[in-house]
Structure 1
Amino acid sequence: MPFSFDLAVTLQREARRMKRRSKRIRRRQSDICKSHEPWQEFPSDLVIEILTRLPAKSLMRLKSVSKLWSTLICSQYFTNLSSAPRIYMWLGFDKEKILVSSSSSPDLDGSFVVDQDLTISAMKGYSVSHVYRGLMCFTKGTNAQIYNSTTKKLVVLPDIEESNIIAKDHKFNKIIYHIAHDPVHDQYKVVCIVSRLKVVKLLLEHWVFTLGGGVSSRWRKIPCTCPPHSPFTRGLTINGSMYYLALVPNSIKPLFVRFDISSEKLSVLQKPEDAFWCRYYYTEIIEYDGRIAILDHADLVHDGVMDLWVREDEEKNRWSRMKRVLHPSQMNMIKTHIVHNMSLRVQGTTRNGDVILVPQHIFRIGPDQFNVLPQVTTHFYVFLYNLQKNHFRKVEIKSNRYNTKRWDVVGFDDIENLMYL
């Protein structure tokens, strides 16, 4: 009996001691977690400055430090600060295509350097249709998938089963996918525009898919109050809206369309009336000094002239027109590299305001139809043109690994996106 009593007392003491130790451990863990919160010991500006200097792989690990750190690193504000510009190339070989990425250093040595191969097996048979803030859209017919080039995550988008146009599986269907960001709800969305010309009637549908919306996510059809149209520009997203120019049947004047990413509403905007709209293939919407602008570069290769319309006031529909004329030395540079049947395609603008111009072969196959082929030389290069400074230059893309005559620059991006798809 005494033995049993002493054993019971000992067990009770040990239980109390373990309970006190457990409480101390929990308090210590709590203190450690609190000490990891950047605002506890260091100014938030200093923490953000340190984090922006780290590579994406390190940032992905640091997201697990605390909920606050995860929110900070995944925030749109931090994403905009932490990224370096990159240019993407879609290289075609005999039986396959690969996607490579080039670091941006043209201000230092006048070149981009290929340093990443982003090709994955799921890309086989697909083509790159859009690159936006670290997200890439790959398409094959009506199929589409989104790839995060930073986290290496891929999501296959569901079919748009309720589309009356896609269901017909007609060869004249035109399907455009565009990735955009909703700043109000901090969401990424994929906009799909489906159109088909049927005799003299144009059929049109707009669909939206929210990325990261869970298993229940599906395509939503957006009511279109605009006249039937077919987009001919890639589309530009700025300040929460996507803008594009579109053709209207039996009219040489296109529509200037805006799609509000948050409200998911379409509207037709007024455009500069003095623009020469017949050359729509050489017309592109770009960002100029934080504003929407329309660039006509049809006369660039032959005459060294570009026309630029900048929207100064949306409510009053006030546009300013500028003409840019290249210097003779710059024209000699173009004539040296741009030969018969070659032209330049606008592929976005850099963070410094340079317009990226990609050489390619263009063949007219009809009144309003063109056949565009990629560059056919092992010499990789693009042109950068700063509209504000009127500075035009050639930038080489350096790579010792790839030897192909079929290549194209498919996108420019300056974001490393850590969001989960």
Structure 2
Amino acid sequence: MKTLEYEYDEQSTAADNRSTKKATTSFPGEIIEEILSRLPAKSILRFRSVSKPWLSLISTPSFTKLHFTRATAAHRTALFISAYNFSTGKRHFLSAPHDGGPVTHLMTLDHPCFASIAAQHLNGLVCFTYHTWSSHAHAFLVNPSTHKSFKLPSPGSSMFYLFGFDESRNEHKILSIRKLFKPLAIEIMILSMTNYSWRKIDTEPPAFSWDGYHTKDGVCVNSVVYLMLESYDILAFDFRTEKFSLINTPQDVLARADAVKNNPYIIKINGCLGVCCHDFVDDINEMYIWILQNYENRIWIKETITFPEPWRGSGFDFSMDSINTDEIIISSSKFSKNVMTIPVYNRKSRCFRSLHFTPGHQFPLSRTLMFDKIGCYVESMLPL
């Protein structure tokens, strides 16, 4: 059985012997792996420097997969927060514990067209994109747990990217959609994180205007990535079959969208595709979620969230993300005295609770700062 060793210093208790002697203890590698796989990512990052055998173990794909599986089962989640400073023109990315506390600064990007982004969270990774004035999309991949980031190689003037996971091949992939003008056509390409190279695919997209896609984030559910269109239909692309399809949203969503002039958007909730829609009317203060519980038969289930205070002046944004099967986090720009408050809704109890985050001296809050993307992720040691 393979063993892993660690060393420690043992002070001699003999009165006449003040020297330090080293003792070496060995444990089976399987036991070390079991222990480490149950620890938070922050601890594992420190333990990589214990010894070369530990570093080798932690760096293996099998350990990365085991750790993520354990983190998912234990609901060991955290929050990925994006903030834009209008006075400096810089965008900041932060991570924070899912139950509140101090935030950790991950990275800062400086770009004049960085006021609006799309962020997609999947298996502990975050893929965020931004558009330049020429409407070209640029994408970064971030692992908030390891504090690592990677700029994706550009396939050209992409309109947007969709981040997904192919369960049949056990690999993350990114879909690029480009609009070509000479000749007029749509080019579909896929990047695999196995080799980080783009591959053009020959597939026929649904017939609709590619100029009319929604700017909200895409989501991936069961190897299928979804994007809300301007018509409020949902574009679906299956990474397993590499085929497109179109899903109609419930008629109730369309009627409500036309009535209150808002924009429904999609989220992933409890392993299912969901569509959110809200009312601006102060005396209603409700948000509605339609959950696609039966994909084959297109069966949607509606839920209603009632807020304890009016939307106007509350500091609530209209974007949501699912922390786990029961709770939904709601973006908020509400902060005072250097403390940011974020509401969390429990679908079982139908009650709200508040999370409080303290940026501190590392990242002080400012009135020119806007928090526009708050999503959850499961801790992952996946390398980029």
- TM-score (norm. length: structure 2): 0.72
Q: CA RMSD in A?
A: 3.9
* Equivalent position of 1:70 in the other structure: 60
* Equivalent position of 1:23 in the other structure: none
Report the CA distance between 1:57 and its aligned residue. 0.6
Partner Cα separation in structure 1 for residue 314 and residue 90 of structure 2 = 25
Matched, 1:242 2:249: no
- Decide whether aligned partners of structure 1 residues 353 and 267 sit closer, same or farther in structure 2, where only a CA change above 3 A counts: same
* Equivalent position of 1:309 in the other structure: 290
C-alpha contact 2:328 2:345 (8 A) present in aligned 1: yes
Report the CA distance between 1:98 and its aligned residue. 4.6
Partner Cα separation in structure 2 for residue 381 and residue 221 of structure 1 = 45
- Decide whether aligned partners of structure 1 residues 177 and 320 sit closer, same or farther in structure 2, where only a CA change above 3 A counts: same
Q: Secondary structure at the match of 1:247?
A: coil
Report the CA distance between 1:246 and its aligned residue. 0.9
Report the CA distance between 1:99 and its aligned residue. 2.3
Report the CA distance between 1:71 and its aligned residue. 3.0
Q: Aligned AA for 2:174?
A: V
Report the CA distance between 1:213 and its aligned residue. 0.7
Report the CA distance between 1:412 and its aligned residue. 1.5
Matched, 1:322 2:299: no
- Decide whether aligned partners of structure 1 residues 376 and 311 sit closer, same or farther in structure 2, where only a CA change above 3 A counts: same
Matched, 1:404 2:381: no
CA deviations 1:175-207 (Å, max 9, x no partner) are 33332222222211222344699xxxx975443
- Decide whether aligned partners of structure 1 residues 38 and 224 sit closer, same or farther in structure 2, where only a CA change above 3 A counts: farther
Q: Aligned AA for 1:258?
A: A
Aligned length: 339
* Equivalent position of 1:130 in the other structure: 119
Q: Aligned AA for 1:180?
A: G
Q: Identical aligned pairs, as a percentage?
A: 14
Question: Greater strand percent: which structure?
Answer: 2
Partner Cα separation in structure 1 for residue 261 and residue 226 of structure 2 = 15
The structure that has the greater radius of gyration is: 1
* Equivalent position of 2:161 in the other structure: 177
Choose from 335, 345, 354 the match for 2:318. 345
Report the CA distance between 1:88 and its aligned residue. 1.2
Q: Aligned AA for 2:222?
A: N
Partner Cα separation in structure 2 for residue 131 and residue 56 of structure 1 = 25
- Decide whether aligned partners of structure 1 residues 69 and 265 sit closer, same or farther in structure 2, where only a CA change above 3 A counts: same
Partner Cα separation in structure 2 for residue 296 and residue 322 of structure 1 = 11
Partner Cα separation in structure 2 for residue 418 and residue 305 of structure 1 = 38
* Structure 1 residue ranges without an equivalent (≥5): 1-29, 107-111, 167-173, 249-253, 361-373
* Equivalent position of 1:258 in the other structure: 236
Matched, 1:90 2:83: yes
Q: Aligned AA for 1:385?
A: Y
CA deviations 1:17-58 (Å, max 9, x no partner) are xxxxxxxxxxxxx8546976644xx498x5466445862414
Matched, 1:213 2:195: yes
Q: Secondary structure at the match of 1:274?
A: helix
- TM-score (norm. length: structure 1): 0.66
C-alpha contact 2:290 2:303 (8 A) present in aligned 1: yes
* Structure 2 residue ranges without an equivalent (≥5): 6-25
- Decide whether aligned partners of structure 1 residues 359 and 105 sit closer, same or farther in structure 2, where only a CA change above 3 A counts: closer
Partner Cα separation in structure 2 for residue 209 and residue 183 of structure 1 = 15
C-alpha contact 1:299 1:306 (8 A) present in aligned 2: no
Question: Greater helix percent: which structure?
Answer: 1
- Decide whether aligned partners of structure 1 residues 98 and 306 sit closer, same or farther in structure 2, where only a CA change above 3 A counts: closer
* Equivalent position of 1:224 in the other structure: 204
C-alpha contact 1:296 1:306 (8 A) present in aligned 2: yes
